[in-house]
Amino acid sequence: MAYSSTLGNDSGHVGQGIGELFAVSRIGDERWRSCHVDPKGGRMYGGALAAQLLAAAGATVQQGVQVSNVDLRFVRPADGGQPVDYRVEDVYDGASSALRRVTAIQGGTTVAIGAAGFHTPREGWTHGVRQVPESPNTLPRTGTPHRSRAVTSDEFDIRFYDERDDQGLVRRLWFRSTNPPVGPTRYVDECALLYVSDLYFFEPMCLEHGLAGDDRWLRYATTQHSVWFHRPAKVDDWAVIESRSPALRGGRGLVVGDIYTAEGCPIATVVQEAVVWSVHN
């Protein structure tokens, strides 16, 4: 592997602000450790695991390649108050692509497994540009759908709304970082996009049934979170996540989302599987 030996400043962090949330530092051959912990502890935010996984995997690939996809399968809850170690395995390095397998470990126990793919862009056909429904500047600054310690108004300007069309319920969540994410990591914007992409992303499957993600008797757990990147991200510019739930049955459901720029250019596609249940059942 072609390691990047430095992934932060003297404090070991990728940068300031949101960059600190997914900072990792090398602790050995093929091993990296998260630099940020939540002093309040509690269940670790899945978007942080995904972003840290990419930060670790991205430090091991050659210069010039772009992120193509990140897939994360959650095995068991991680404690946000403790660091997570990431073991990166070099699966493939080709002329135009690379693949890394990553295992997230906390306290000697696997909490997630995943993979990150990279590719070298080449000239070719392009499609996918669409018309966005509105300008984010016309929307009120709502903040996150529900209270969140993971994503705050100091870090992101978030404006969202839910509506129904002929295909069912759709959530449109506009976001941009209040400051450009900084740090020497090559994929700081992609890490930041991964971080915010998990923000109540499961909720459309609940809203289809008149439920909300913060209902006290509702329980949920994300089992898989996958993102395909169509172009490099730039999270200090406006982008919108448009998400729907195509299916929910037997307590297991799926949410699919597309992320676009304010000009309608596709940035990424997100697919998440989650289990939801009621404590009354």
pLDDT digits 0-9 by tens, 237-261:
999 999 999 999 999 999 999 999 9
pLDDT of 6 reads 32
Distance CA 102, CA 24 (A): 13
Q: Kindly indicate the confidence band of residue 90, based on its pLDDT and cuts at 50, 70 and 90.
A: very high
Residue predicted with more confidence, 183 or 117: 117
CB neighbours of residue 48 within 10 Å? 22
Helix (H, G, I), strand (E, B) or coil at 80: coil
pLDDT digits 0-9 by tens, 188-233:
999 999 999 999 999 999 999 888 888 888 899 999 999 999 999 9
pLDDT of 13 reads 30
pLDDT of 281 reads 60
Got the DSSP string for 33-51?
EE----TT--BPPHHHHHH
pLDDT of 273 reads 98
Indicate the average pLDDT of the chain. 90
pLDDT of 2 reads 41
pLDDT of 254 reads 98
Distance CA 70, CA 116 (A): 4
- 276: DSSP letter: E
Does 179 have pLDDT greater than 60?
Answer: yes
Distance CA 205, CA 201 (A): 9
pLDDT digits 0-9 by tens, 15-44:
347 888 899 999 999 999 999 888 888 999
pLDDT of 18 reads 83
CB contact set of 19 (below 8 Å; sequence gap of 6+): 13, 181, 182, 183, 185, 188, 191, 192
pTM: 0.91
Residue predicted with more confidence, 124 or 90: 90
CB neighbours of residue 150 within 10 Å? 18
Q: Kindly indicate the confidence band of residue 64, based on its pLDDT and cuts at 50, 70 and 90.
A: confident
- The helix-helix angle for 46-58 and 188-197 (nearest 10°) equals 160
The C-alpha R_g of the chain, in whole angstroms, comes to: 18
Does 123 have pLDDT greater than 50?
Answer: yes
Does 101 have pLDDT greater than 80?
Answer: yes
Residue predicted with more confidence, 131 or 103: 103
Six token digits for residue 198: 């998990």
pLDDT digits 0-9 by tens, 41-62:
899 999 999 999 999 999 999 9
pLDDT of 8 reads 32
Domains of the chain in start order, with CATH, are 17-121+136-278 (2.40.160.210)
Does 182 have pLDDT greater than 80?
Answer: no
